[in-house]
Amino acid sequence: MTTLNVPKETMSRKDPEKYFTIIEKLGEGSYGSVYKAINAGTGIVVAIKRVSVDNDLEDMEKEINFMKQCKSPYIVTYHASFRKENEVWIVMEYCGAGSVCDAMKITNKTLSEDQIAVVSRDVLQGLAYLHSVRKIHRDIKAGNILMNHKGESKLADFGVSGQLSDTMAKRQTVIGTPFWMAPEVIQEVGYDYKADIWSYGITCIEMAESKPPLFNVHPMRVIFMIPNPSRPPPKLTEPEKWSPEFNDFLAKCLTRKPEQRPSAEELLKHPFITRAKSHSLLVPLIDEQDIIINEKGREVALGIEQKDEEEEDLEDEDSDDSDIDRGTMVPRNNSGDEEYDTGTMVITDNKNSYDTVVFNNDDEDTGTMKLKSTMTAKKGFIPDYMNQFKKTDDDNKYSSHSLDDLKKMLADLEIEREKEVQKIHDRFSINRQALLAVIEEKKATTTKN
């Protein structure tokens, strides 16, 4: 097997463009873009993720070193990394069929139950491996499952975002993308690798129905709804259309109590997985995707506009002080500080997929939720799941009002929002207090007996 012609050191200061020729843009994430590239000398095709970074690269370096050690056919292989100006270039295995999310988007199809079973077997193997080396992925979703042309699936984007190092783990309590997050992750009651299993259950629903449950609900609300113990766990919209094995597999993944939720190893023994067929089942979907990409071009097929650098620069300038105008969801309190009741949730964009949110508790009091610290998020862009809410604005139902009226309406809306959030908080505290009291009572009775 030919080995890639790359420097061995992490974040090499050598010029990556001497080693790679960029062929095309594959997609965009919250922290940068991913390109298909070809290695000079060997002709090996790779994917390169270019991430904007600030100066503190210690965490990212740790992550990259960890990725280097991760060797599993079910996890996207790391090849090399470069530091170029304010970017880190991460060179990784190229998965020619892109993400499961993109495949669904481009073909406008969902996956059949048999296809989901095949993907699941690979994903569970990947998770079993990661968990065996004591790592949690924390951002499992169809956008982070990549496929090759044989229909084999691999977990991506773990580590790249810097979320897995010990220091980051201590600082950042909640990481993920709202709709896929496990209840215990949102509640910040401490969580472990079982959180990935929940997110995978949600991903299965996403693969079956194209969207995760609660997708039409605003993400700010979702983070209150998911942990609500009185809500039944998510399930397929029409369970009767799917086999009992699939429904049971989902119910197991989506068990509220993490201690009762099975591990990846255990789930690999589930009949839904053991009966999974060959990877070739995914090939028709991949072929159909290729035909569409060949016809329309990747950007059009994915709905990514190809912008020239000048245009991007202009956008960056614009977005410095006008995130809200541009649709980036940056909830703030009235003072404009980056705090929002229980914390600020800064959501940036990814036009192809669903964005990742990091809730950070650097500041214990406010529990400020913010972006991953090492990387600079791409400016002025809207996560896919935010587009539906943006559309409401675009409907222009407010356009006939005067500027003063609009400002007043906005102020009223802010007040209403604060009240709603307060109500939810109050309800949570009451339930929590009640539960704690009963727990104490039970403990006391047990001790007496």
Confirm whether 139 is a catalytic residue: yes
Site for ligand ATP in 290-329 (CB under 6 A): none
Q: Kindly state the smallest distance separating residue 298's Cβ from ligand ATP, in Å.
A: 9
57 near ligand ATP, rule: CB under 6 A: no
- Least distance between ligand ATP and beta carbon 241 (Å): 28
User: Which is nearer to ligand ATP, 59 or 355 (by Cβ)?
Assistant: 355
Number of amino acids touching ligand ATP (CB under 6 A): 28
Please enumerate in sequence order all residues whose Cβ is within 8 A of that of 285, keeping only pairs 6 or more positions apart, or say none.
Answer: 103, 107, 109, 111, 115
Strands 87-93 and 98-99 come out as: unpaired
Cβ–Cβ under 8 Å, residues 90 and 160: yes
Contact 91, 46 (CB under 8 A): yes
Q: How far apart are CA 126 and CA 71, in angstroms?
A: 10
**Residue of the chain from 289, 356, 360, 373 that contacts ligand ATP (CB under 6 A):** 356
To the nearest whole angstrom, how small is the minimum distance from the Cβ of residue 240 to ligand ATP?
Answer: 32
Angle between helix axes 194-209 and 244-253 (nearest 10 degrees) is 140
HSE at residue 246, side-chain half, CA atoms within 13 A, is 24
Q: Which is nearer to ligand ATP, 93 or 299 (CB)?
A: 93
Q: How far apart are CA 365 and CA 368, in angstroms?
A: 8
Structure-token match 């912008």, residue found: 307
> Between residue 138 and residue 157, which ones bind ligand ATP under the rule CB under 6 A?
139, 143-144, 146, 156-157
Please report which residue ranges of 40-176 form alpha helices under DSSP H.
Answer: 58-69, 100-107, 113-132, 166-171
374 binds ligand ATP (CB under 6 A): no
Among residues 59, 102, 139, 157, which one is catalytic?
139
CB of 258 to ligand ATP, least distance (A): 23
> What are the φ/ψ torsions at residue 180 (nearest 5 degrees)?
-95, -5
Q: List, in sequence order, every residue forming a beta bridge with 91; answer none if it has no partner.
A: 48, 80
Give the per-residue contact string, 4-43, with ligand ATP (x = CB under 6 A; - = no).
Answer: ----------------------xxxxxx--x---------
* Cβ neighbour number for residue 119 with a 10 Å cutoff: 25
Residue 25 is assigned to a ligand binding site: no
Q: In the range 77-136, which residues lie near ligand ATP by CB under 6 A?
A: 92-95, 98-99, 102
Q: Which of these segments, 9-17, 137-145, 305-313, 430-438, binds ligand ATP (CB under 6 A)?
A: 137-145
- For the record, the structure tokens of 351 come out as 């036009």
> At its nearest, how many Å lie between ligand ATP and the CB of residue 99?
4
Q: How far is CA 213 from CA 203, 229, 416, 429, in A?
A: 9, 16, 26, 25
The CB-nearest residue to ligand ATP is 29
**For ligand ATP, the closer CB: 115 or 353:** 353
Which 324-353 positions form the footprint of ligand ATP (CB under 6 A)? 350, 352-353
The single-letter code of the amino acid at 319 is S
Tokens of 28: 């965009």
Return the SS3 of 70.
Answer: coil
Decide: is 49 part of the binding site for ligand ATP (CB under 6 A): yes
Please give the annotated binding residues for ATP, written as ranges.
49
Residues serving a catalytic function are: 139
The residues that touch ligand ATP, with contacts defined as CB under 6 A, are: 26-31, 34, 47, 49, 76, 92-95, 98-99, 102, 139, 143-144, 146, 156-157, 350, 352-353, 355-356
Binding-site residue ranges? 49
